[in-house]
Structure 1
Amino acid sequence: MGPEHFGWGGWWLFPVVMPIVMVVVLGILIYFVFGRGGPRPPWSNDFDGSSSHHKDSESAMEILKKRYARGEITREEFEEIKKDLQS
């Protein structure tokens, strides 16, 4: 080792590693602010402030009515399934 290394010890590594660490931290920060559509916590999945569980609590009859309204099932199928659900 030459005399140029005596005063530095392991500190020569700091100017090499620190810019890389700063770029990684900045990238993570940009993802959390802009990558999720705005500054909100990652655990927040609701967009209108209501609970995200309301989609799961939809009854079978509501789903049936929506399928019929979209034309996915015929009137006969609707009536048959409705009869099964009510019994």
Structure 2
Amino acid sequence: MMGPGYFGGFGMGGGSFMMIIVILVIGVLLYLAYNHKNTGNGNMMAVQPAHNLEAFEIAKSRLASGEITVEEFEQIKKYLL
């Protein structure tokens, strides 16, 4: 009936098993790529404005203390907002 290599990769059963494994691996990789793409964009959009406002406040305090010039502040402001 079943030989010693039926599920070991030599018979039809082993080839089918390997095909299922390959399809599952491809499916997992596609899922991870799709999930990473969606969560990456969502997180960046949610976090970025808070960082921009914090950086803008730091730039304002540096301008007030004289660490940067008005021109540098305007460049930073243009970049952040």
**Which TM-score tier does this pair reach, normalised by the shorter chain?**
0.3 to 0.5
Structure whose residues are more often helix by fraction: 2
TM-score by length of 2: 0.38
The one of the two structures with greater contact order (alpha-carbon pairs below 8 A, sep at least 6) is 2
